[in-house]
Amino acid sequence: MAPGIDVTNGVVLGTAGVFGAAQFQAHATATSTAVDLDWNVSCSAYGTTTAGSQGTIRYELYVAQAVTGQLVVTWVAAPTGTGASSCSIDLFDDGIVDATGSVTWPVSFGAGVVPLRVRVTTVAHAAVIHGPWGTGWSYQGTANGSLQIRLSPTHCQSAVFGQGCGDPQLTVLGNFTGGADLRGTFGPAADLGVAVFGFDQVATPLPLAPGCMLRTTPIVLLWHPIGPSQTTSWSLALPAAFRPVAFAAQLVGIDVDTFAATTSQGRWITCQ
């Protein structure tokens, strides 16, 4: 590909011949809670040839407000014979290579564009060497490289402060809008999922069978119908002016046929 081509939607390239093969794949996905960059590159040299796959991509990650998070790099190389593979990650695209393998490090960004330059290379050689008296020997190789880079916010932490009663499961993840995403999984009987928010840890029994406990005094209630996947989510934005803040969250699953309510664990969420 020519330099400067937009690969926002990913790139897949490959070639194969009698003496060798090479492949290059790179994809990017972004959600409210993480940015994932995935690369898979490989090459194989069978005959008298040199095979390779390589590429450099400059990512521009836009953040609407300051983000405190972590960058997790996972690099797995699997060469054989003459094969070799390598990667380099340059955060801020300032000419300084910050990582050439698996690493996790804390990061902090101001609002705006965060550049990230990534390069991955594989190469393998193959040939036949002829010796005296009709002798000869050959060498060949393969190289594979798999790279995953994940950027995720770490400004929100959660801890269990009260046990649940029934099927709902609550997961809390920090998001890029300064707040947190709540992801709920409910049992097959649940028709309605309710997210309960409060500022205390005062337990109150629900007036519905089987008598589960609500772990906080409700200040805000948000609800969604539960679809066939039995999952739903809520995304909370917390501008910097509202932080630091701490609050309780819990999920309630309601079965409208039997008018029963089950609950998740209560979680105390702190966002800096």
pLDDT, residue 65, reads 86
Residue 133 in domain:
yes
Residue 36 in domain:
yes
* Average pLDDT estimate for 170-184: 96
User: Domain boundary at 104, 127, 153, which?
Assistant: 153
Residue 94 in domain:
yes
Please say if the pLDDT value at position 213 is more than 90: yes
Q: Round the average pLDDT of the chain to a whole number and report it.
A: 95
CATH number for the domain spanning 228: value is 2.60.40
pLDDT, residue 100, reads 97
pLDDT, residue 196, reads 98
Residues 236, 188 share a domain: yes
- Is 67:145 a contact under the CB 8 Å cutoff? no
pLDDT, residue 82, reads 97
Q: Which residues contact 225 (CB under 8 A, 6 or more apart)?
A: 191, 192, 193
Q: What is the pTM of this model?
A: 0.87
Residue 174 in domain:
yes
- For the record, the structure tokens of 48 come out as 């008298």
Split at pLDDT 50, 70, 90, the class of 135 is confident
Residues 142, 160 share a domain: no
User: Domain boundary at 134, 153, 172, which?
Assistant: 153
Q: Which domain holds residue 165?
A: 156-271
Residue 170 in domain:
yes
Split at pLDDT 50, 70, 90, the class of 34 is very high
pLDDT, residue 131, reads 83
Residue 6 in domain:
no
Residue 3 in domain:
no
Please say if the pLDDT value at position 7 is more than 90: yes
User: Domain boundary at 126, 153, 180, which?
Assistant: 153
Residue 2 in domain:
no
Residues 219, 117 share a domain: no
pLDDT, residue 140, reads 96
Residues 137, 173 share a domain: no
Residues 239, 126 share a domain: no
State pLDDT tens for residues 226-237.
989 999 999 999
State pLDDT tens for residues 43-93.
999 989 999 999 999 999 988 889 999 999 999 999 999 999 999 999 999
Split at pLDDT 50, 70, 90, the class of 97 is very high
pLDDT, residue 130, reads 85
Split at pLDDT 50, 70, 90, the class of 262 is very high
Total of domains in the chain: 2
* Average pLDDT estimate for 98-120: 95
Residues 146, 15 share a domain: yes
